[in-house]
Amino acid sequence: MSQEPEDVKPKLNLNISYDGTQITVKVKTNMKFSKIFEAAEKRFGKDKGTFKFTYDGQRVKPEQTPAELEMEDGDQIDAFLEQVSTAAL
């Protein structure tokens, strides 16, 4: 009787949506979003730091992980361009 090794670091497929385009990234639940964000920006052809990301209407911070947000396979993250104000103070 053989036992298969338990998957210690389960993986999720997360969908990242920007401007009507969606990509899927496979990530470990303990991976910091900073790495996920960099990969998404590269795949969308944008510079690092171009986007801000939200999940369930809440801003996702680069130091957070999918496990901290209790994300599940197939969940969606929305990407938005950073809004820079040009108004004089």
Reported pTM: 0.80
CATH code at 11-81: 3.10.20.90
Q: By CB neighbour count within 10 A (0-12 exposed, 13-18 middle, 19+ buried), where does 16 fall?
A: buried
Q: Are 18 and 24 in contact (CB under 8 A)?
A: no
Amino acid 82: pLDDT: 77
Q: pLDDT tens for residues 27-85?
A: 999 999 999 999 999 999 999 999 999 999 999 999 999 999 999 999 999 999 977 66
Q: Are 23 and 38 in contact (CB under 8 A)?
A: no
The pLDDT of residue 11 is 93
Query: Which run of H or of E encompasses 2?
Result: none
pLDDT bucket at 10, cuts 50 / 70 / 90: confident
